[in-house]
Amino acid sequence: SQQGEEDPQALSIQEGENATMNCSYKTSINNLQWYRQNSGRGLVHLILIRSNEREKHSGRLRVTLDTSKKSSSLLITASRAADTASYFCATASSGGYNKLIFGAGTRLAVHP
Amino acid sequence: GAGVSQSPSNKVTEKGKDVELRCDPISGHTALYWYRQRLGQGLEFLIYFQGNSAPDKSGLPSDRFSAERTGESVSTLTIQRTQQEDSAVYLCASTPVGGSYEQYFGPGTRLTVT
């Protein structure tokens, strides 16, 4: 069964606006990762946040993690048309190896 | 350096035929993962290799699916007697060690079973 569930499933915004995507999961995690996928092919790692971290930044990306609510959010500020892609959260369970469980993703469309 | 590569990039096959998909991980990466992604969906874990340890095959959907990896090199995913529901993008990823690190993905193989 899927661990991460993203919402919304699809998001359409104008360039310059912020985009917020949410992810919920079910079991204890070691870390949570966000990936981006263009055109349904290879994924690119964006950011990793560990279970003992609450917030992390990377450029225009801001990720938060609330382990009490088993949820995470990805914020993209000042979006660009080039940010158009699908975004996935993936969780790595506590213990064991880095077997990632992916959600179904959020499809983001940024219009010029 | 070179990233993860996969071949072929696209494969069209007839129902009932066998197919073999190939993944070349990043040199030095000991852990290798295979995923399946159906259209519009997230990634499903298939199998994990870590060095010479026994692989975790818990995600393989049926005994028609198998995968091999020799040491820390190339891996092949074989699907026997393909079915239309096998149509998907098959993605391979590798990591430096089998811990909680980001995964580096290949471009995938798009498999279409007609």
Residue ranges of domains in chain B: 5-113
Kindly calculate the radius of gyration of chain A based on its CA atoms and give it in whole angstroms. Answer: 13
Please compute, for residue A44, the number of CA atoms within 13 A of its CA located in the half-sphere on the CB side.
Answer: 8
Q: Note whether B60 and A20 are within 8 A (CB).
A: no
Domain-wise residue ranges, chain A = 5-99
Give the CATH number of domain A5-99; options: 3.40.50.300, 3.40.190.10, 3.40.50.1100, 2.60.40.10.
2.60.40.10
pLDDT of residue A70: 95
Chunked into runs of 10 residues, chain A (112 residues) has average pLDDT values of 73 97 91 90 92 96 97 97 95 74 92 94
Predicted confidence (pLDDT) per residue in B30-83, tens digit:
899 999 999 888 899 999 998 888 899 999 999 999 999 987 889 999 999 999
Asked if B65 has any chain A CB less than 8 Å from its own CB, the reply is no
Cβ-nearest to B103 among A2, A100, A105: A100
When CB atoms are compared, the residue of B42, B104, B107 closest to A103 is: B42
Counting DSSP H helices and E strands in chain A, the numbers are: 0, 11
- Whether residue A45 contacts residue B103, with contact meaning beta carbons closer than 8 Å, is answered with yes
Cα A99 from Cα B93, distance rounded (Å): 11
Averaged pLDDT for residues B12-34:
95
Cβ-based contacts of B56 with chain A (< 8 Å): 97, 99
Strand order in the sheet with A71-76: A5-7, A19-24, A71-76, A61-66, A55-58
Q: Judge whether residue B93 has pLDDT over 70.
A: yes
Q: CB B42 to CB A97 under 8 A? A: no
Q: Is B101 on the interface with A (CB under 8 A)?
A: yes
Q: Which of B60, B55, B64 is nearest to B82 (CA)?
A: B64
Q: What is the dihedral of CA B97, B98, B104, B109, to 10 degrees?
A: 130
CATH number for the region B5-113 comes to 2.60.40.10
pLDDT at B99 over 60: no
Asked whether residue B4 carries a pLDDT value surpassing 70, the answer given is yes
What is the pLDDT at residue B23?
Answer: 97
Partner B contacted by A29 (CB < 8 A): no
